[in-house]
Structure 1
Amino acid sequence: MNRPLAARDIAGRRRGPELDVAIVGGGMVGAAAALALARAGFTTALIEAREPAPWRVEDEVDLRVVGLAPSSIGLLDALGVWTSIRQARVGPYAHMHVWDAGSGAAIDFDAAASGQSALGCIVENSLVQSTLWQSLDAAGVQRHCPAEVAGFEAREDRMQIELADGQSMAARLLVAADGAASPLRAMAGIGTRGRDYQQRGVVAHVRTERPHANTAWQRFLPTGPLALLPLADGRCSIVWSLPEEEAARALALDEAAFCDAVGVASDFRLGRITATGTRAAFPLQLKLAERYDAERFVLLGDAAHAVHPLAGQGVNLGLRDVIELRDTLVDARAAGRDIAAPHVLRRYARRRRSADTLDALGFDTLARIYAWQASPLVAMRGLGVRLLDRLAPLKQLVGGHAAGR
């Protein structure tokens, strides 16, 4: 890795930093941000501790999958990577069926109702990340990997960034896309608020007796939601939210017992669960950054907001952050402004923090409502779901919001 050029030209005059933007974190959101900003003409660097392994079609389907909304697919298409992802392995779904174990109320969403061919696509995280990384060099993104940030300091016209190996670089703007536990967020002194759900999301791929019919299925149980998401190979990826002790028991079951448990939890909507493979679990939490910006510094993706997976919107929120940041910086540059000026970063932070907070608290409210077990409350919840299913304009509004429209 090369140290940046000196900060003065041959005439002795101070010049700007070598980089416009340095992004820390090379997951889906960070890599998408690096590619989007480079394609928009910003000199960009991506700093990541570990380079992702190349995705290979012969490998088993990654346990970590994401439901990409049309807004996210549109961004990936604009970045020139969606065709490769789509041709590799994706599970499009045109329908979504959500039902309540307590009241029996159900709601259906259909892509055709909004003139769309699909509501979204289930895609492996590793496929999206790998495809983005393969495009970085051609876009001119400087990759620093393996590398970690040891510290940073905002100066008059730059953020001076020190790496753990003693190297340094300077950029007008530092972007933290380093995940929900974000070390950079802590270094910047930005706190968080939220709550621990005391639950884990159990994930696995299962084979079902009946085909998934290109439908995303979700059943709300008193213990938490169970989602069955359609994979390209005909199986379903499950995300089963369970209290921590129950999640541990589910992970310890043998294959037959686990299949039976998932079948019961899904009300055998797709028939018996006939096979499963590797299982894993991850903690569920709500974590919202108290602010999204500091001097020459912004948060992006899970570093800014970690949300309950019941709506499958975590990565989609992060990719909407990417769109907003790119557009904000492009507008600032067109107006001749410093792209990391406080008022520029406040614009990005204000717009995304408002939208992300509204969504995150909405997901949290849904989780609380579906945890109700008292009979009158369950009946009221069922009535609300049935009304929403019958009110086409309101249902289309909800579906459009989830799609990013």
Structure 2
Amino acid sequence: MIVVGGGMVGASLALKVAMSGVRVALIEKRPPAEFEPSSPCGLRVSALNRSSESLLDTVGAWPELMAMRSHCYRRLSVWQQGGSRTDFDASEVGEAHLGYLVENDLIQRALWNALEQSNVALYTPDSVVELAQESSACHLKLESGAVLQGALVVAADGADSKMRSLAGIGVTGWDYQQHALVVVVKLQQTAPDITWQSYVESGPRAFLPLAEEQASLVWYHYPHEVKRLRSMAPLKLEEAVREAFPDDLPEFEILNQSSFPLKRQHANHYVSGRVVLVGDAAHVINPMAGQGVNLGFQDVIALSEQLAAVQPDDWPQAAQAYERKRRGANLLMMSTMDGLYATFGSDKMPLRILRSVGLWAANRATPLKASALRYAMGLPLI
């Protein structure tokens, strides 16, 4: 099997499949940098749920990750500014924690530390220039001149997937007409064990505590407003953040900041012959609930299980079974996030009342609240 793309999803899939004794080659254009303990936290952060934690542990990356830096969170708070608030706590479902907030670069680095100790053949830095498919195999020509053959090629090369294009798979989607301003800050206290999102008409605002008294503040806003905020001097931006975020925000100073546009994208199908899509190559979700990488890891679990159940000659059929299982689930999550985004993003009075009633009810409907919490953690519903 050949995996194209050595990010979080591609690297974890390569490790998971290789554990079953399958020969795996991994192609990656830009391998991750080594971890530098003195560096500030990265700008792109994931909220790993318990299911993702289990996968990373299975493939041997979790101890590597814990040896670097991460932040365990036990509580989650959701509220609309000036209105109702719902608080979730891991203890409500008998768990020690909800998940971990970790920099994406470190997740990838931990996976590569595990890859370098595995029997996965690494082609890096390298990239695919040609794809040819036959009934029994795929052939890839690489920029280095190498030619690889595999019974299955997995495209894990991101939202702008070249492999998806070479396989002739189209996408549908749209731009949300909003950008996310991401600010890494140094806190003047130990980072708390709570992450929260508040909602206003212009978009959500999130507080994500990180390791070493740092945190990531995510501010969703209209593109011209994000551009204006990014043009501010650091002290002026600090003032703007303090005014925009709830009073719960700890005292801080800005270390770094960036922004990126928000978009939704879904592949028209996940399989073309012996090419199969996973992660962002298959789906890009609104990042509001931090489910992007967790969905990608669910792809890894589902595809690796389907492949392990059959012989390589039957992998195209296993890939089709994977698509049936995951495409509907991913579409449901994408639509759910869009519905929440539309509901919480409106300041119209009927929806404000609906949000307030919904958050009030969630605080009191214990079984419903527990089910929602277990689902967000990636745990089975009971």
Report deviation, 1:209. 5.5
Q: Which structure 2 residues correspond to residues 1-400 of structure 1 after superposition, within 5 A? A: 21-101=1-81, 104-208=83-187, 212-271=191-250, 273-333=251-311, 338-341=313-316, 343-400=317-374
If the length of structure 2 is used for normalisation, what is the TM-score?
A: 0.96
Matched to 1:396, the amino acid is: A
Whether the 8 Å CA contact 1:208–1:270 is kept in 2: the answer is no
Matched to 1:312, the amino acid is: G
Q: Show the counterpart of 1:401.
A: 375
Give the distance between the partners of 2:314 and 2:183, measured in 1 at CA. 43
Two-structure CA RMSD over aligned residues (Å): 1.4
Q: Identify if the C-alpha distance between structure 1 residues 164 and 210 changes in structure 2 by more than 3 Å, giving closer, same or farther.
A: closer
Matched to 2:61, the amino acid is: V
Report deviation, 1:235. 2.3
Give the distance between the partners of 1:222 and 1:144, measured in 2 at CA. 47
Provide, for residues 75-104 of structure 1, a one-character-per-residue CA deviation record: whole Å limited to 9, x for no partner: 011112212211321100000011112x61
Report deviation, 1:270. 2.3
Provide, for residues 353-397 of structure 1, a one-character-per-residue CA deviation record: whole Å limited to 9, x for no partner: 111111111111111111212112211221122112211111111
Q: Identify if the C-alpha distance between structure 1 residues 248 and 72 changes in structure 2 by more than 3 Å, giving closer, same or farther.
A: same
Q: Return 5+ residue gaps in structure 2 as ranges.
A: none
Give the distance between the partners of 1:61 and 1:357, measured in 2 at CA. 32
If the length of structure 1 is used for normalisation, what is the TM-score?
A: 0.90
Report which of the two structures shows the higher radius of gyration computed on alpha carbons: 1
Provide, for residues 43-89 of structure 1, a one-character-per-residue CA deviation record: whole Å limited to 9, x for no partner: 00110111211112122211221111100000011112212211321
Whether the 8 Å CA contact 1:172–1:339 is kept in 2: the answer is no
Report deviation, 1:339. 4.1
Whether the 8 Å CA contact 2:61–2:113 is kept in 1: the answer is no
Give the distance between the partners of 1:91 and 1:138, measured in 2 at CA. 26
Give the distance between the partners of 2:368 and 2:172, measured in 1 at CA. 31
Give the distance between the partners of 1:162 and 1:142, measured in 2 at CA. 16
Give the distance between the partners of 2:22 and 2:157, measured in 1 at CA. 20
Q: Which moved more, 1:346-355 or 1:76-85?
A: 76-85
Whether the 8 Å CA contact 2:4–2:10 is kept in 1: the answer is yes
Report deviation, 1:156. 2.2
Matched to 1:365, the amino acid is: G
Report deviation, 1:402. 1.4
Report deviation, 1:338. 2.0
Give the distance between the partners of 2:212 and 2:233, measured in 1 at CA. 23
Number of matched residues? 379
Report deviation, 1:212. 4.3
Whether the 8 Å CA contact 1:211–1:270 is kept in 2: the answer is no
Matched to 1:56, the amino acid is: E
Report deviation, 1:167. 2.3
Whether the 8 Å CA contact 1:212–1:270 is kept in 2: the answer is no
Q: Return 5+ residue gaps in structure 1 as ranges.
A: 1-20
Give the distance between the partners of 1:232 and 1:207, measured in 2 at CA. 10
Q: Identify if the C-alpha distance between structure 1 residues 381 and 243 changes in structure 2 by more than 3 Å, giving closer, same or farther.
A: same
**What SS does the corresponding residue of 1:123 show, helix, strand or coil?**
strand
Report deviation, 1:210. 6.0
Give the distance between the partners of 1:142 and 1:211, measured in 2 at CA. 42
Structure 1 stretches of 4+ moved >4 Å: 208-212
Give the distance between the partners of 2:367 and 2:342, measured in 1 at CA. 25
**What SS does the corresponding residue of 1:237 show, helix, strand or coil?**
strand
